Amino acid sequence: MTRRGDPALRATKGCEMESNNYWARFARTRASRRRILQGMGAVSVTAALGGVLSACGDDDAPKTPAGSSSAPAGASGTATSAAGAARRGGELVVRRPSAMTFADPHRSSSGYDPTINHLYAAPLLSMTDGKLGPGLVSKWEQVDSSTIRLTLRDGLTFSDGTPVNGEAVKFGFDRQADPSTGAPRRDLLKGVTAEAPDASTVLLKFESPDATFIENLAANAPIGLGAVISPAAFNKLGADKFNEAPVSVGPFTIDKLALDAESTFVANPNWPITAANGDKLPYLDKVRIRVITQTAVAVAELQSGGIDIDYVFLSENAAQLKGKKNLDVDAHKGAITQRLGLLLNKAPTNIVAFRKAMSYAFNREEFATTFTEGLGGPGRGPLTELSWAFDPKLPHYTYDEKKAKELLAQSGVDSSTKLNLCTYTSGVYPRIGELVQAQLKKLGLNVQVDNLEVPVYTEKYRKNGEYFLGLEGAGTPQGEPYRSFDSIYGDGNAPGGADMSEPQALLDNARQEFDQEKRKAIYGQIVQLDYDNVYKIWLIEGPTLAGYNTAVHNFQWLPSGSAMDVTGAWKA
Superfamily, domain 3-326+550-571? Periplasmic binding protein-like II (3.40.190.10)
Is beta strand 327-342 parallel, antiparallel or unpaired with respect to 91-96?
unpaired
pTM score, whole prediction: 0.80
The distance between the two most distant Cα atoms of the chain, rounded to a whole number of Å, is 72
| Closest among 492, 467, 494, 473 to 541, alpha carbons compared | 473
Residue 236 burial (CB count, 10 A): 12
DSSP 175-199: HHHSGGG--TTGGGGTTEEEEEEET
Cross-strand bridge partners of residue 545: 331
Residue 35: per-residue pLDDT: 33
Is beta strand 377-378 parallel, antiparallel or unpaired with respect to 446-452?
unpaired
**3-state class (DSSP) for residue 548:** strand
Residue 84: per-residue pLDDT: 62
The one-letter amino acid code at 347 reads A
Instruction: Give, for all 572 residues of the chain, the pLDDT tens digit.
Output: 444 544 333 222 222 223 334 334 434 443 333 333 233 222 233 333 333 323 333 333 322 222 222 333 333 333 444 456 899 999 999 999 988 889 999 999 888 899 999 999 999 999 887 788 999 999 999 999 999 999 999 999 999 999 999 999 999 999 999 999 999 999 999 999 999 999 999 999 999 999 999 999 999 999 899 999 999 999 999 999 999 999 999 999 999 999 999 999 999 999 999 887 889 999 999 999 999 999 899 999 999 999 999 988 877 787 788 778 899 999 899 999 999 999 999 999 999 999 999 999 999 999 999 988 778 899 999 999 999 999 999 999 999 999 999 999 999 998 788 999 999 998 778 999 999 999 999 999 999 999 999 899 999 999 999 999 999 988 898 889 999 999 999 988 899 999 999 999 999 999 999 999 999 999 999 999 999 999 999 999 999 889 999 999 999 998 877 889 999 999 99
Cross-strand bridge partners of residue 134: 125
What values do phi and psi take at 342, rounded to 5?
-130, 145
Gap between the Cα atoms of 329 and 319, Å rounded: 10
Residue 112: per-residue pLDDT: 86
DSSP 305-369: TS-SEETT--GGGGGGGTT-TTEEEEEEEEEEEEEEEE-TTSTTTT-HHHHHHHHHH--HHHHHH
- DSSP 8-state secondary structure symbol assigned to residue 166: H
Gap between the Cα atoms of 175 and 248, Å rounded: 14
Residue 168: per-residue pLDDT: 98
Residue 524: per-residue pLDDT: 98
Task: Estimate to the nearest angstrom the gap between the alpha carbon of 275 and the chain centroid.
Answer: 25
Domain boundaries, the chain: 3-326+550-571, 332-543
8 Å CB contact between 59 and 474: yes
Gap between the Cα atoms of 250 and 365, Å rounded: 43
Residue 141: per-residue pLDDT: 97
DSSP 116-161: HHHHHS--SEEEETTEEEESSEEEEEEEETTEEEEEEPTT-B-TTS
- Going by C-beta distance under 8 Å and a sequence separation of 6 or more, which residues neighbour residue 240? none
8 Å CB contact between 214 and 65: yes
**3-state class (DSSP) for residue 561:** coil
- In angstroms, the Cα distances linking 135 to 19, 70, 132, 444 are 36, 9, 10, 56
8 Å CB contact between 191 and 207: yes
Residue 4: per-residue pLDDT: 52
8 Å CB contact between 561 and 479: no
Does the domain at 332-543 match CATH 3.40.640.10? Answer given as: no
8 Å CB contact between 256 and 245: no
Residue 351: per-residue pLDDT: 98
- Going by C-beta distance under 8 Å and a sequence separation of 6 or more, which residues neighbour residue 70? 134, 274, 276
